[in-house]
Structure 1
Amino acid sequence: MDFLLGLVGADFVLVAADTAQIRSVVRMKSDLDKTMKLTDKTMMLLAGSVGACSNFGDLMAKNIKLNGIRNGYDHSPAECANFVRKSLADALRTREAYQVNLLLGGYDAHDGPELYYIDYFGAMAKVPFGAHGYGSFFTLATLDRHYKEGMNFEEAKDVMRKCIEEVRTRFIVNMPAFTVRVIDREGTHEVTL
């Protein structure tokens, strides 16, 4: 029942994830952080079983950090996305398959803001906006209608607000709280809508 949402603005990426941990018909937790910081300017949002998300997220964060230390620089969002995609694809062909869908967003000094949509099969696409989970059934039409390239921060927050309100109105599962973060040239920051 996870819901992840992200969109690219003029010089930032705005991402949101619900904070509920739901299993079957039981809400186990209401303050779960589904985001994982990979570098100072790259973050991924994970959807799937809590164990798979936690294990895979930690594995990716630690390996990307180790690779950055070995090579002496932080990886770009594109490099992180390709590493994550390959790791998912490789794991799919072993007994370690992770049932994890994710959005990976970041800011690169050369390429600007980037958002990647990656599913548990290891398929990846660079997108201007994306959503995972049942909430995407309700929000993709809203994003199609209201998203425009090069939006400023206030416009992006307004589109994000509309998407979250649509999920709260139409989806049968109550999603009262969301973690919203912005990734820009300064790094990652929490945002209130």
Structure 2
Amino acid sequence: MECVFGLVGKDFTLVVADTSAVHSILVHKSNEDKIMLLDSHKLMGASGEAGDRVQFTEYIQKNVALYQFRNGISLTTAAAANFTRGELATALRKNPYSVNILLAGYDKETGPSLYYIDYIASVHKVDKAAFGYGSYFSLAMMDRHYRGDMTVEEAVDLADKCIMEIRSRLVVAPPNFVIKIVDKDGAREYAWRESVKDVPVPAA
């Protein structure tokens, strides 16, 4: 019952993801961070099979860092999205990854942006997007309340509305969510929305 969603505000992009690591009927942990820091001004929120999600997002992160190391400049958000799309398209014909991605970034020239990249390697620049079962409710809430000139506080309030809707309507709702933001000051974790904390396993 994964859920990743994001939106573009006035001068920032916000990404929210659930933090549950689930397989079949088992919950392995409830504090898995599914939003990866690609570089100082890019975030990648991902959903899908746990192995594919971790392997592919780490692969993209390391290649973005390698490009910067080799060339001395960072990829723009659009370039990173198209590189990610290209790698998914290549894998699609060999050994496909079951992973859906929201790539958020901030560039000095173009400002904040959000790219929707699905598991069959289609890419779209969007103002708001969502993946997973929670997308049915988060997209409905964003359709109702989203504005392009939202402040950070308004966007976080909308994210909270989406989270509450998911928790109240989804049969098996993820308990915890993480919110991250990228703007001119960089990409960073903004807040957690917790209803359950992982209980430490007692020593044997």
TM-score, normalized by length of structure 1? 0.97
Amino acid at match of 1:153: V
C-alpha distance in structure 2 between counterparts of 1:190 and 1:34, whole Å: 12
1:103-114 paired onto structure 2 within 5 Å: 103-114=102-113
1:78-157 paired onto structure 2 within 5 Å: 78-94=78-94, 96-157=95-156
**Gap runs ≥5 in structure 1:** none
Greater alpha carbon shift after TM alignment, 106-115 vs 66-75: 66-75
Q: Write out the 4+ residue segments of structure 1 that deviate beyond 3 Å after TM superposition.
A: none
Residue 174 of structure 1 deviates from its aligned partner by 2.7
C-alpha distance in structure 2 between counterparts of 1:111 and 1:82, whole Å: 16
Question: Retained in 2: the 8 A contact 1:46–1:100?
Answer: yes
Question: Retained in 1: the 8 A contact 2:2–2:174?
Answer: no
Q: String of CA shifts for 1:11-63, please: whole Å, max 9, x gaps.
A: 10111100001111111111111111111100101111111111101111111
C-alpha distance in structure 2 between counterparts of 1:120 and 1:68, whole Å: 26
What is the aligned partner in structure 1 of residue 75 from structure 2?
A: 75
What is the aligned partner in structure 2 of residue 57 from structure 1?
A: 57
What is the aligned partner in structure 2 of residue 170 from structure 1?
A: 169
| Pairing 1:30–2:30 present | yes
Amino acid at match of 2:89: A
In the alignment of these two chains, the number of paired residues is 192
* Max Rg structure: 2
What is the aligned partner in structure 1 of residue 48 from structure 2?
A: 48
TM-score, normalized by length of structure 2? 0.92
| Pairing 1:183–2:182 present | yes
Q: Secondary structure at the match of 1:98?
A: coil
Question: Retained in 2: the 8 A contact 1:116–1:127?
Answer: yes
C-alpha distance in structure 2 between counterparts of 1:54 and 1:139, whole Å: 24
Q: Secondary structure at the match of 2:187?
A: strand
Q: What percent identity do the matched residue pairs reach?
A: 45
C-alpha distance in structure 2 between counterparts of 1:189 and 1:76, whole Å: 18
What is the aligned partner in structure 2 of residue 21 from structure 1?
A: 21
Question: Retained in 2: the 8 A contact 1:39–1:75?
Answer: no
Question: Retained in 2: the 8 A contact 1:182–1:188?
Answer: yes
Residue 143 of structure 1 deviates from its aligned partner by 0.5
Root-mean-square deviation over aligned CA pairs: 1.0
1:3-18 paired onto structure 2 within 5 Å: 3-18=3-18
C-alpha distance in structure 1 between counterparts of 2:46 and 2:14, whole Å: 15
Amino acid at match of 2:190: V
Question: Retained in 1: the 8 A contact 2:18–2:174?
Answer: yes
Amino acid at match of 1:60: I
What is the aligned partner in structure 1 of residue 202 from structure 2?
A: none
